[in-house]
Amino acid sequence: MAQRIETIAVHGGQKPDPVTKARGVPVWRTSAYNFDSARHGADLFALKELGFIYSRLGDPTGDILEKRLALMEGGAAAVVTASGTAAIHYTALTLAKAGDEIVSASNLYGGTYTMFSVLLKDQGITVKFADVTRPETFRAAITERTRFLYAETIGNPSLDVADIAALAKIAHERRIPLVVDSTFTPPTNYRPIEDGADIVIHSLSKWIGGHGSAIGGAVIDSGRFDWKNSNVPFFTEPDANYHGLRWALDLPEPLAPIAFALRFRTVPLRNLGACLAPDNSWIFLQGAETLALRMERHNENGLAVATWLKRHPKVAWVRYPGLEDDPSHAVASRQFPKGFGGMVVFGLAGADGEAKLASGRAFIDSLSLISHLANVGDTKSLAIHPGTTTHSQLTPAEQVAAGIPPELIRLSVGIEHVDDILEDLGRALEKA
């Protein structure tokens, strides 16, 4: 019988080291690996056999993390990267080239939004933005040149929830994959592949690592997408990046289903180089082991904080997918029965314009337990004003499209005792 995710998070992908009998995961710090023979080296490069060559392409510590993440997400293979940002960029380059298009939700993490609207545009890839609350806007934006659909399960920071089954259906009608950034819904809360997502991305820097101690990213390949009959030419035409290989047609079974993960590793990761260091893979493995326990507390505290803020007279509005009157609640309660996570956003009551911004600044400056910084998914509670920080590269119109009113304050609710979090919020709201 398949193991449950709590067990996979502790054991997945690892057996005690056969040589030393070490029970914990060792860190293999080496740049390169010996070949058994000239033939063995050639076979590894030709993908006739999988194995370690050079740590930019993969290493045994990272391999355990990749296997564990793939098992936790219900996917077939995973590749880890130096950051979530690198995982997103390399996913785009694995699927699209100059002249191609992507249709993406507009409610994205600011760095991804800038990558899509400026950097990819400069590289010749056009990203068309759609409204995640209306999946039919994705359908309307697809053309013959669209290579994938993209959305965050819960958008950062609007917290609008993507209907993954609806987006997967639209993508598959047009024979393109659905790529999902599931950072805000780690796999103990939600597994998008079960609803039809084809590629799942994580910033490991957030809940999976969980302690705010390292930066990393991952892609998980579901192994289910039909690349052979797809509208993604990189998988059916000879690839000049890899001696003319046609990824969907020439790979031997059982590698064919994980063609995406293989192209990701051997083209952008190999040739652009943002690999994850073995030490950081080890840190993320430590985090993964306690993910299920931590998420229970994040889910509980997130709901408690959102409910408390909602009743506070100095708070004008609160967004949390777990609140019954939240616009995303219907989709969220279908997709996330285990809990809605630790992200809460809200706006202060009061006059509009500069006065509102000033009280937002006073609120943030008055926090003491809750750290003011640009991160989410830490055990510690965190707060920020995205409009002037993480999303400040967006124009005012783009901020509105991304669901960020100027007064929005973002909380990443940690695993401290909830009463201490509420006391800190209460004190800061009094001063705001």
Ligand X SMILES: Cc1ncc(COP(=O)(O)O)c(C=O)c1O
Q: Among 215, 218, 245, 306, which residue sits at the site for ligand X (rule: CB under 6 A)?
A: 215
410: closest CA among 374, 394, 386?
A: 386
Which tokens hold the place of 122?
């400069």
Provide, rounded to whole angstroms, the least separation between the CB of residue 327 and ligand X.
19
Residues contacting residue 250 through CB under 8 Å, at least 6 positions apart: none
Provide, rounded to whole angstroms, the least separation between the CB of residue 194 and ligand X.
20
154 vs 367, beta carbon nearer ligand X: 154
Alpha helix stretches (DSSP H) within 16-144? 38-45, 60-73, 84-95, 110-114, 120-122, 136-141
Provide, rounded to whole angstroms, the least separation between the CB of residue 104 and ligand X.
12
Which of these ranges, 83-91, 276-284, 305-313, 398-406, lies near ligand X under the rule CB under 6 A?
83-91
215: closest CA among 281, 156, 286?
A: 281
Angle at 419 between CA 415 and CA 425, to 5 degrees: 90
DSSP 119: I
Which of positions 131-170 make contact with ligand X (CB under 6 A)?
Answer: 152, 156
Provide, rounded to whole angstroms, the least separation between the CB of residue 235 and ligand X.
25
Environment class of residue 316 by beta-carbon count within 10 Å: exposed (0-12), middle (13-18) or buried (19+)? middle
Whole-number Å distance between alpha carbons of 281 and 403? 34
Residue 239 found at the interface with ligand X (CB under 6 A): no
Residue 378 found at the interface with ligand X (CB under 6 A): no
DSSP 133: T
- Binding mask 88-117 toward ligand X (x if CB under 6 A, else -) reads ---------------------x-xx-----
- Binding mask 307-326 toward ligand X (x if CB under 6 A, else -) reads --------------------
Which of positions 171-190 make contact with ligand X (CB under 6 A)?
Answer: 181, 183-184
Q: Which residue has the tokens 């997400």?
A: 73
Residue 205 found at the interface with ligand X (CB under 6 A): yes
Q: Considering CB under 6 A, how many residues would be counted as binding ligand X?
A: 16
74 vs 84, beta carbon nearer ligand X: 84
Percent helix, strand, coil in the chain, to 5, is 40, 15, 45
Residue 342 found at the interface with ligand X (CB under 6 A): no
**Residues of this chain that bind ligand X (CB under 6 A):** 83-85, 109, 111-112, 152, 156, 181, 183-184, 203, 205, 215, 217, 376
